[in-house]
Amino acid sequence: MKAGKFWAWAVFILGAAYFFIPLIATVEFSLRMRRGVYSFDAYKVVLGDSQFQATFIFSVVVAIFTILLGVLIVVPTAYWIRLRLPQLRPVVEFITLLPLVIPAIVIVFGYIRMYGSNSPLPFLGSNLGANALLVIGYAALALPYMYRAVDTGLRTIDVRTLTEAAQILGAGWGTIITRVILPNVLIAVLSGAFLTFAIVIGEFTMASLLNRPAFGPYLQNLVANRAYEPAALSIIAFAITWGCMSLIQILSRFAPKSANRPN
């Protein structure tokens, strides 16, 4: 028992060292812009860079649209599968897991070839179309996470009973979805949304290959050309990811606790 505890601590400390040393090193590096003293110059330069602001805002907007698209596709599907078409569950689950098997670079390669400017659906013929395609691609990448979050949320509230109860009380479909189901899975949807945000905000491959002025390619470009600013940006990116995950964690405390979960 005591030896076990020793090893547990040893493993934990070793792991913590592996995970924290790079962060410390990056922080340290990001503060070294001014010779001889630690300063926040690198952060000032980065945050003041108009290109940073433009690409970051672009990525935030793309992330918001991605979340909206993801919610629109996933919530009705997951709900309908739970309620009416449980026999389709394996198919839908298989599809939602595909983005974990098909690399993003392959998916976007397919888009470029299928939706080029002289194809029947020329997404890439215009800026707006290309932005839309980026949102679509991100929604596909986030599909596994979004679906799992929402499906888990639906499982804990027992949609079938809730729907039937609402129907008996005379509610129509619109009322059921907006007043009964959505409020109850809101936390789950938001968890999926923040995870999507974390994935999308610094994504490089799709944005770069679709030639979008997004945050990921900007970062990449900066690494190649600057010394201290990328360190500051890495820390900012880490903080954003951390913020998203903390929000998910905080939200999960407000999630409805299932009243009738078996066991």
Residue 7 or 38: the one with the smaller Cβ distance to another protein is 7
- Is 61 one of the binding residues for another protein (CB under 8 A)? no
CB of 231 to another protein, least distance (A): 6
The CB-of-250 to another protein minimum distance in angstroms stands at 10
Q: Which CB sits closer to another protein, 153 or 216?
A: 216
127-146: which residues touch another protein (CB under 8 A)? 136-137, 139-140, 143
> Is the CB of residue 30 less than 8 Å from the CB of residue 228?
yes
| Alpha-carbon 203 to chain mean position | 10
Burial of 86 (0-12, 13-18, 19+ CB in 10 A): exposed
- Least distance to another protein, CB of residue 93, Å: 12
Contact set for another protein, span 207-226 (CB under 8 A):
208-209, 216, 219-220, 223-224
Burial of 63 per CB tally in 10 Å (0-12, 13-18, 19+):
buried
Distance CA 144, CA 148 (A): 6
Which residues, 10 to 39, sit near another protein by CB under 8 A? 11-12, 15, 18-19, 21-26, 28-29
Q: CA 219 to CA 215: how far, in whole Å?
A: 6
Q: Which of residues 232-251 bind another protein (CB under 8 A)?
A: 233-235, 237-238, 241-242, 244-246, 248-249
Residue 40 binds to another protein (criterion: CB under 8 A): no
Site for another protein, residues 146 to 185, rule: CB under 8 A: none
Instruction: Confirm if 125 and 210 have CB atoms less than 8 A apart.
Output: no
In the bound state with another protein, the residue whose beta carbon lies nearer, of 47 and 92, is: 92
**55 near another protein, rule: CB under 8 A:** no
Cβ neighbors of 196 (< 8 A, separation 6 or more) are: 63, 66, 67, 70, 138, 142, 145, 146
Amino acid at position 155, single letter: R
